[in-house]
């Protein structure tokens, strides 16, 4: 895992990373998002730690990550992305920042399950979550109002991933300032063996829909048999997607 610490995000003529400063070409990034005909509007805003800013309504926070070596893509399967198994090779990440998916789209059309999460960049409430400490690039995005809720969900989340991918490309070919190796090596056989059972929220019980959009494992949000995952797959975003509270968004899961 190659880490590129981000201390500030600014808008400029080209998207690039230099000594902790991430410059974002706002026009180019938004042009990529607006290529999707399902998107009606999209804007980018920057929110920094300590500012008197409330971000609402928040659907997800994504840390930009990109596969440099090894199969697949980060945050695989969801929104039509490559579904190849991840967790091998090398991944680069932009640490200390998040791409915030801001949209009023509801999770499903059954009602009673609305997007009510907000993030404060200052104050006591924001201190409950890690996102207040991040430099947040907010994608304020709304889809075509004539689409059904499922299509709207996929459109706005794909837009957020498109932004994260473009930021990740800025550090693909750079040498990371920090590097850490994660692998399962031989250990003392006398030690207890541990399996972490991760209970993932599923929206089917509330919506009655087998296609309701929410946290996904390799893009699958339907009720499925248990998954057996290598820990490195989690680091590459195998478990990802918008969550209906701020406690377990994509940024939190991957970290």
Q: What is the pLDDT of residues 1-43, one digit of tens each?
A: 999 999 999 999 999 999 999 999 999 999 999 999 999 999 9
Distance between CA atoms of 147 and 158, rounded to whole angstroms?
A: 15
Percent above pLDDT 90 for the chain: 72
Locate tokens 């490309």: which residue? 169
Give the span between the Cα atoms of 131 and 121, in whole angstroms: 8
Q: What is the pLDDT of residues 99-134, one digit of tens each?
A: 999 999 887 776 666 677 899 999 998 888 899 999
* Interval 167-190: pLDDT, tens: 999 999 999 999 999 998 999 999
N- to C-terminal Cα distance for the chain? 12
Q: Of 122, 98, 77, 95, nearest to 238 (Cα)? A: 77
Q: Is the pLDDT of residue 88 over 70?
A: yes
99 by Cβ neighbours in 10 Å (0-12 / 13-18 / 19+) ranks as buried
> Is the backbone peptide bond immediately before 57 cis, with ω within 30 degrees of 0?
yes
For the segment 56-73, the average pLDDT, to the nearest whole number, is 97
Most confident range (mean pLDDT) of 44-58, 142-156, 241-255 is 44-58
Domain ranges of the chain: 2-254
């Amino acid at each position: 895992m190659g880490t590129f610490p981000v201390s500030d995000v600014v808008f400029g003529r080209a998207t690039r990373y230099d000594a902790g400063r991430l410059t974002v070409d706002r026009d180019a990034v938004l042009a990529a998002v607006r290529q999707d005909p399902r998107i009606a509007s999209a804007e980018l805003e920057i929110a920094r730690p300590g500012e008197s800013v409330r971000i609402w309504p928040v659907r997800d926070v994504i840390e930009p990550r990109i596969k440099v070596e090894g199969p697949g893509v980060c945050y695989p399967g969801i929104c039509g992305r490559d579904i190849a198994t991840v967790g091998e090779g090398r991944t680069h990440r932009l640490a200390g920042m998040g791409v915030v998916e801001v949209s009023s789209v509801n999770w499903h059309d059954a009602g009673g399950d609305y997007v009510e999460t907000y993030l404060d960049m200052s104050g006591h409430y924001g201190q409950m979550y890690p996102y207040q400490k991040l430099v947040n690039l907010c994608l304020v995005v709304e889809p075509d109002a004539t689409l059904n809720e499922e299509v709207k969900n996929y459109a706005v989340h794909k837009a957020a991933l498109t932004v994260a991918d473009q930021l990740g490309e800025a550090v693909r070919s750079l040498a990371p300032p920090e590097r850490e190796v994660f692998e399962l090596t031989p250990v003392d056989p006398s030690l207890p063996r541990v399996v972490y059972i991760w209970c993932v929220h599923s929206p089917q019980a509330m919506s009655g829909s087998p296609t309701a959009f929410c946290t996904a494992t390799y893009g699958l949000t339907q009720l499925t048999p248990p998954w057996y995952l290598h820990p490195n797959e989690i680091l590459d975003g195998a478990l990802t997607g918008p969550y209906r509270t701020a406690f377990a968004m994509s940024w939190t899961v991957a970290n």
